[in-house]
Structure 1
């Protein structure tokens, strides 16, 4: 019966596999394989040849019920990559079939990755799973974020129906450093309680890891985080070596600005490279 229901609903099954390597001329996109509607633009070098920028594009412009996106990114030793998306990822109403996105990232020795996608926008009625799995070698460093917005505030649409399951998992040399699961159900009254999201429709978080990441960054970053009626940010350092910034908000522009500011301040410490804003953020 399940297979019959899936067959009645058209869906996109898409895969993207990227491999970056550091060569004598800098970091290069060595392999880009895809199936279905997932693409990556040509390699860009706004910061010079050592840092390769790529933009992941999903031509359908939204994820509908039954869609499955599988993205795998491998960074060879000493490579440095910046990955982003051109616009918000829209998760549409799912009538029967849940949609899914799985991102797996593997970082070799001394590799550096900036994972800077734009936000996930969940329409009312969306049923989906969003998974991020990160594996680092001992000397690799990573800064990445994830943002979700429940409902479309600008259109007056509240997130009154739908389910979102989130899984974030980080390993270093096969050892688990961080794992977090969340199941958000629009009909669950506990969702709007203080221990969960309260009345905030937007939630974001940023992770930072690397040999230079430490508790000393707490005092540096904490005074820079806002706490007011529209946005609230906090930062903590886990003993496993993960710096975690969290934010709740009712304004996506403020949320985006907070995460960009945190990345700008952390990048010189984590990667040893000054931060340069992406052109995408100027549009």
Structure 2
């Protein structure tokens, strides 16, 4: 693995223009980071192998949070027949804007018969933040991608509401079925544009967030799934709580007693789960169960929780 660390030159601007580039290759049946390029404040920890063949990678944002004017660019490439799981070391924090928009752009390419699990920890958007993110995934033949996005609007535990600012997110997943990489058979599998304006009627409308500060999505894309998997994902919300290591010391949440709302949809080539409620931990615990179902049924693997999670 080659690693390049590119420091930021001092200047008068308080904003960051961070970059992260990851290229994964297969060596002797094991996925390894073949090339890593980082530019502050983005970094990655050394790879972990709790599953041997699958490379677990933990991203870090060393500045502690994202402010107005920050530009973060992530580029991830998986070569054919590789398998990587990427997560983050802690929740991302989007601070109140200084008048400028903060942006994050992520480009992901998953090679033939490869799999990427994109499972960052939650994002906390402070009141007054102005933030836009775009994530684009390109799947080669037989490739699959699964990811989640868990967002808290305002620090509601401190009584903060998302009254001003905005949060925007757009995810696109494309698939190329041509073995030679031609564009003729390239098709859009799933697109998910979202936008929340602070203080807007959408925050309280029953057709919007209905007063809930947490919204979350889990998606598996790349191949069709059975109706049984959809039913199992719904049932996972109502099933009794079961231990998942590592556990926090707080009592476990019983999901079926929650008043929060969930939905599960069978996509043309995948599965989509939605959550709106009060708890990022609750959303993550349900998503972990769905992740376990998808891993077992579609990948033939048991769940392996990254060490940095608290679920």
TM-score w.r.t. length of structure 2: 0.84
The one of 245, 267, 273 aligned to 1:238: 267
Q: Distance in 2 between matches of 1:234 and 1:190?
A: 19
1:53 counterpart SS class = strand
Match of 1:186 in 2: 198
RMSD: 1.7
Q: Deviation of residue 214 (structure 1)?
A: 3.5
Contact 2:56–2:306 (CA<8 Å) still a contact in 1? no
Which digits, 9 at most, give the CA deviation of each residue in 1:57-108, with x for residues without a partner? Answer: 1100100010011001000011010100011000000021100111111100
The answer to whether the aligner puts 1:13 opposite 2:22 as a matched pair is no
The answer to whether the aligner puts 1:122 opposite 2:150 as a matched pair is no
Aligned ranges 1:203-214 → 2 under 5 Å: 203-211=215-223, 213-214=225-226
Match of 1:36 in 2: 40
Contact 1:159–1:186 (CA<8 Å) still a contact in 2? yes
1:196 counterpart SS class = coil
Q: Deviation of residue 25 (structure 1)?
A: 4.7
Q: Distance in 2 between matches of 1:205 and 1:274?
A: 21
Contact 1:225–1:232 (CA<8 Å) still a contact in 2? no
Match of 2:175 in 1: 172
Aligned ranges 1:1-283 → 2 under 5 Å: 10-48=14-52, 50-173=53-176, 174-211=186-223, 213-226=225-238, 229-239=258-268, 241-282=269-310
Q: Report runs of 4+ in structure 1 exceeding 6 Å deviation.
A: none
Match of 1:4 in 2: none
Paired positions, count? 275
Which segment is superposed worse, 172-181 or 186-195?
186-195
Q: Distance in 1 between matches of 2:130 and 2:197?
A: 9
Q: Distance in 2 between matches of 1:146 and 1:176?
A: 20
Q: Deviation of residue 279 (structure 1)?
A: 1.4
Which digits, 9 at most, give the CA deviation of each residue in 1:185-204, with x for residues without a partner? Answer: 01321332111111110000
TM-score w.r.t. length of structure 1: 0.92
Which segment is superposed worse, 190-199 or 126-135?
190-199
